[in-house]
Chain A
């Protein structure tokens, strides 16, 4: 019988090794799998390459992973937001590397990685400093840059509901990078608020089909990053 559910976040992230590439879903706090990130901090893997749109806020979640020295390199589009101090400090100190990627190019690189497409051309960033080192080609009179697909060893994603097959539903704008990140990792780990019975999710409504998901952990009442930041919390 197929059953992708696991008992704990700790068990789900136990085999993420040093030097792994990890995609982490979320746009700001919406969709950030904070309990999986905290389990990864507890687990101790270091020198990670993290692919995520932002770099977290306050001293919890992704920001805490970075502050604990676990991240060697960030690949992201917007590494600063309100309440985001951890990444800027470590970046200025030269202790974490940054690959800055336009947001649409980031999403498409992940989509391409998941779809087995090694590279593609896009008009985004032509003539800007982010063109540096990239091949430029002209198609039908317009210039484009070559971008490569992104894959990861693991993806950590937050969704609303799953069944034991790993079929997923999301919540509003917390969906963001989740569906593409699920497709682009060797092992995709998803935290959900609710587990549906098999057959309990309408096949017409499935957003991420279970083939893209390897592990499901139920976190019934996930923490809200902004609330933890407001309370001045720090993890661990």
Chain B
């Protein structure tokens, strides 16, 4: 198979975001991380209502504003312009992190550099000597939010596994990840190990295992 055909297999980033949105129940309070996780909101099924939280002080994030109507005092954690839905609430930082650290937010969707077999997450620093360390709210989110979803490509741009036995990058938190959504599979972090729950179309369990740096277990509905 050619490299191009190889790369086109699996879920697109849109399909990945849709797959995460499918797992957000009606009534959930959800924090979406910067980047790809932000896209999840637009794919929430129409029969469900969720309240999206940004740590800089808003519950009830709406769609992106029309060009020209951005408000520099209404932004998300990535400092991009947003809107507020009817029924939204503004609050200060200590209240916002009371929501996060006090276990009031149901689900957080984050990106990752690496996730370990035990569910350790590394997503804030590559640890390079001249990098400017910047952590933001990532460590608070993984310590306090009840369910942590990771949304990431299965491997790095150079094909290195991002799901590994032990993280090499500086950790964001220990044993905090519940479920991993990649372009190849949906994987649960369980006491029995990394359990593959779903495979992307055209992807076999063996292919996912080959591109993973830790041992995988096939879930009941996944054929090996």
Query: What residues of chain A have their CB less than 8 Å away from a CB belonging to chain B?
Result: 27-31, 53, 77-82, 87-88, 91-92, 98, 100-108, 110-111, 122-130, 170-180, 207, 224-226
Contacts and interface: CB of A to CB of B under 8 A. Distances in A.
25 contacts: A28-B79, A30-B73, A77-B135, A78-B136, A92-B132, A100-B134, A100-B135, A101-B135, A102-B139, A104-B97, A108-B97, A110-B94, A122-B101, A124-B140, A124-B144, A127-B171, A128-B173, A130-B135, A130-B139, A172-B58, A172-B84, A173-B90, A175-B57, A175-B91, A176-B56
B157 interface: no
B174 interface: yes
B46 interface: no
Nearest to B74: A172
What is the interface residue range for chain B against chain A? 35 or more
Given A107-B94, A172-B57, 8 more contacts: A79-B134, A81-B79, A82-B79, A103-B97, A107-B92, A172-B90, A175-B57, A180-B92
Given A79-B134, A107-B96, A172 B71 contact: yes
At the interface, is chain B mostly helix, strand, loop or mixed?
loop
Nearest to A127: B174
B176 to A, nearest CB: 10
Contact of B143 (A28, A81, A122): A122
A125 B143 contact: yes
B75 A104 contact: no
Contact of B73 (A102, A127, A174): A174
- Most B-side CB within 10 Å, residue of A105, A107, A125, A179: A107
